[in-house]
Amino acid sequence: MRKPLAAYTVLDLTNVLAGPFCGHQLAHMGARVIKVETPDGGDLARQLGADAELNARHMGVSFLAQNAGKESIALDLKDAAAKAAFLALVARADVLVENFRPGVMQRLGLGYEHLKRVNPDLVYCAISGFGQDGPNAHAPAYDQIVQGMAGVMALTGTEASGPLRAGYPVADTVGGLTGAFAIAAALAAPRGERGVFIDVSMLESTLATMGWAVSNWLVAGVQARRIGNENMTAAPSGAFRAADTLLNIAANKQEQFEALLRAIGREDLLADPRFTLREARLAHRYELKALIEERLARQPAAHWVAVLIEHGVPAGEVWDLPRVLDSAQVRERGFIERFADVPGVGREVSVASAGYKLDGEAPRVGRPPPRLGEHTARILAEFGIDPAAIGSRGND
């Protein structure tokens, strides 16, 4: 398998989600990712997740989710000897990623201005809630805080429900993905011209993914409303109830709308002035939805999905995670990577891969999530440092 970043070493000083997700994407592209953790607990995600026993072992499910493919070295960066060892790693690394609150690395004497004197070619990526400057720069920023401030919650839900957060940490994930993209782009520069400080704001990264909503306001002066599962630009387009469960239908084009009515046996609605044109359908979307659901109630969702696709209408069932992960589509593309009998876990661990293929193959990191400090002694020896000199707590 191709590994485009196989020549690069990344120092991952990150915690919980945004930063670790960034490092995980780089690992999928072949980078060597060395996770630098504090000896007294490491990444907080080691203690988070749905399995309390794994949390107690510092191998929590939240940690397992985005740290496969990495090595772990335990260093107390407040200790002079450990800091010297860390600087030796920096001198030979290509990338450093951190998601501390702005100012933390400077207080440790390890800010970008210092590290670039050690390694002028270093690509330094700092991921934070609001960026390195501005009035909110030093405010604490968890995913839900950013979702709320970025306008995601204001757009999610219905007028009756009020603002709702997305069902997964979208701001953290987008921040990490943005960091990985920026790092990969920086590494495309020739050696000697690569050194750069990348300042990733989770708030701005999230806003960047909301282009339509942002531009509707900036350009047209129209503020988006909460309309639940409806599509703001087209009708009928959204979630519809069949006999058993929900299905999504996206009849966004005129020909798709007409095909939908033929598929459900309601061609008569084509002559109804409430539904003839796109703007009319938007104004009467809920009346149209009720008429469509009246016909959908006669058969289960799976039946209608097959019928609609046959008629050229985009449609799909609304699946939960167990259903989609067990689907032939996901299984046959090799999206899940599995590790047998992972140390510190004692059983198989399955994790998500990157969501793309290179030359027909899904990327694999090939290494299970590490125990805290698992590779400390070996990495220090590789860099010519005596582990005993810094009180290494490594496990190898």
Report, as residue numbers or ranges, the catalytic residues: 172
CA pair distance 173, 379, nearest whole angstrom = 29
Residue 140 · residue 129 · CB < 8 Å: yes
Tokens 């990327």 identify what position? Answer: 363
Of the candidates 308, 310, 302, 289, which has an alpha carbon nearest to the alpha carbon of residue 245? Answer: 302
User: Of 311, 319, 214, whose CA–CA distance to 253 is shortest?
Assistant: 311
Question: Which residues face 377 on adjacent strands?
Answer: none
Token pair listed for 23: 């490092």
d(CA 260, CA 314): 9
324 sits in the region (left: phi over 0; alpha: psi -120 to 50; else beta) called alpha
In three-state secondary structure terms, 123 is: strand
Among 151, 148, 208, which Cα is nearest to 178's?
208
16 vs 14: CA distance, rounded Å: 7
Backbone φ and ψ for 106, nearest 5 degrees, come out as -65, -40
Do the beta carbons of residue 93 and residue 383 sit within 8 Å?
Answer: no
